[in-house]
Amino acid sequence: MGKFAITMMGFLLLCFCAEAVYMKYKDPKQPLNVRIRDLMNRMSLEEKIGQMTQIERHVASPQIMRKYFIGSVLSGGGSAPFPKATAADWVKMVNEIQKGSLSTRLGIPMIYGIDAVHGHNNVYKATIFPHNVGLGVTRDPQLVKRIGAATALEVRATGIPYTFAPCIAVCRDPRWGRCYESYSEDHRIVQAMTEIIPGLQGDAPANSRKGVPFVGGKTKVAACAKHFVGDGGTTKGIDENNTVIDMNGLLNIHMPAYFDSILKGVSTIMVSYSSWNGKRMHANRDLITGFLKGKLKFRGFVISDWEAIDKITEPPRANYSYSVQAGVLAGLDMIMGQENLVEFLDDLAFQVRNNIIPMSRIDDAVMRILRVKFVMGLFENPLADLSLANQLGSQEHRELAREAVRKSLVLLKNGKVTNQPLLPLPKKVTKILVAGIHADNLGYQCGGWTISWQGIGGNDLITGTTILNAVKKTVHPSTQVVYQENPDVNFVKSNHFSYAIVVVGETPYAEMFGDSAKLTIAEPGPSIISSVCGVVKCVVVVVSGRPVVIEPYLANIDALVAAWLPGSEGQGVADVLFGDYGFTGKLARTWFKSVDQLPMNVGDRHYDPLFPFGFGLTTKPVKS
């Protein structure tokens, strides 16, 4: 009997251990809600608060992830493992951080996020697509969807499963430094361009519930619609300022693209730094919890912008405990950019333990974060590999970017008299001049949010084709191409050029550093236009993140092209200038005469533009 009892006890112990080892949340065959509930029932308050925290890469380490149960890590603008890091370098870094998360008691994987807003723009050798201001011109949702799919592959190539894109702001004033991140002043174009979301995430199944996030496997990434809500409508276009508009206006102009994004299964939504009628959006419970989560039934997670809770008070961090309380109670699920990590974690834990923030609010946040992580397969595939490394900057993606450039160009003027067009340009002539500080500068061509937050100048850290090199590749071999960045009048007169291509515009900027009351072309752009276009037939190509002051120079210019911020593939500009393809783009933004008219949008009573919304001359391709 004793022997039987020992055997039986051993058998029961084995059964108990097997039962103890089996955890429903780790079983992909279990229903999603069962997995979420099972995991949450096992979590301590510290583990839950850790999930709500997103820290920057330079703060993160395997030890930090393990000690504080951190739920997410990000690379801010320009934050790379080191300059010219390869896909393998990125994968190694992300996996090292992830291993710290997997070594915690419950092994909850972290989610790594990055601003891949026009391609994988932080990364050396990535394809850089046109910024949204140019893509809106195309009015081609399927093109934008393909760009989303290509971007997802390049982001995944570096081991990252989450991008803070798309920006679905409706920019109503080009003085705003983020206007190039907006597809249009017209919400209908912005709504159409939310098709980038199924490009990034994959097409949500036809029978999926409204508002439930969807990410279609290891070649797709979680997307983030931003910035909720009204960020493009601030007074005088000042970044992070106050948007003064009634509820009807907010719903009709700034909210519609969120309806579309949620229907398409967007995983996350980022809240805006801006205020609505004086109330900071990060503290706006009525709109975040009441409208977004309640009325719109959004089931993904809501993320703050970088250290945005600090700015709930004026000045920032004047009352940090209040900021934590106001932001979390408003409905923020994940808090981005905690440089003072321990202070945040301690403060939030204190407020929960003292019933200032109810546990139900924490559980709502954690449930949403876990939902996204389960849906995207992070628990099954937490570590990245190098199987997609060849997608970074692939030729196929560069061809797609080149197509997007062609379709995003807008021809604003073609000939000083209509029956004598300058474009398309002849490829075979004796000698042509290419001038302007933007003609041979990939950094200027790409704009802000490229390699660094504010963008860069020059050709060292971006792989692509400058407009100058594109011109050289496109003209007849017998045509002499002369490049002078800033030629004087005598040089232009003495060289007997057949025509000139002048490439000028804005230099790179991002966010508040791009706010501008003047909207002028960067010097010496205006003087280059004057010295070249007064002497020889010229086409001026404007590289800018928005309409700029051009009327004073217009009479001297034979042809004018808005190229926006075309990205790495300048060959797309030459394709259209020389007639291999026709101009098809139509303005998605009103082009003003004077900044004194701003803000001015299509439909306004005082509408008197230089070039109206929807304007764009067309040309036919030239048969070679």
Residues marked as catalytic: 305, 511
Token couple for 551: 């009327």
Consecutive H or E run containing 365: helix 359-375
* CA nearest to 167, candidates 225, 80, 103, 94: 225
Amino acid at 205: P
CA pair distance 383, 543, nearest whole angstrom = 40
CA pair distance 291, 258, nearest whole angstrom = 11
CA pair distance 556, 579, nearest whole angstrom = 23
538: CB partners within 8 A, 6+ apart: 499, 500, 501, 502, 529, 532, 557, 558, 559
CA pair distance 412, 589, nearest whole angstrom = 13
* CA nearest to 548, candidates 438, 394, 401: 438
Task: Please state, in angstroms and as integers, the Cα–Cα distance from residue 242 to each residue in 175, 273, 307, 382, 510, following that order.
Answer: 14, 9, 18, 40, 19
CA pair distance 441, 418, nearest whole angstrom = 32
CA pair distance 514, 544, nearest whole angstrom = 11
297: CB partners within 8 A, 6+ apart: 210, 211, 262
> Tokens 């809500």 sit at which residue?
229
456: CB partners within 8 A, 6+ apart: 443, 450, 462, 508
Token couple for 439: 């003609």
Q: Is-contact 380 29, C-beta < 8 A?
A: no
Is 248 buried (19+), middle (13-18) or exposed (0-12) by CB count in 10 A? exposed
Is 341 buried (19+), middle (13-18) or exposed (0-12) by CB count in 10 A? middle
Give the 3-state secondary structure of residue 411: strand
Amino acid at 403: E
Q: Is-contact 545 447, C-beta < 8 A?
A: yes
CA pair distance 367, 362, nearest whole angstrom = 9
CA pair distance 419, 426, nearest whole angstrom = 17
Q: Would the CA dihedral through 509, 511, 517, 519 be positive or negative?
A: positive
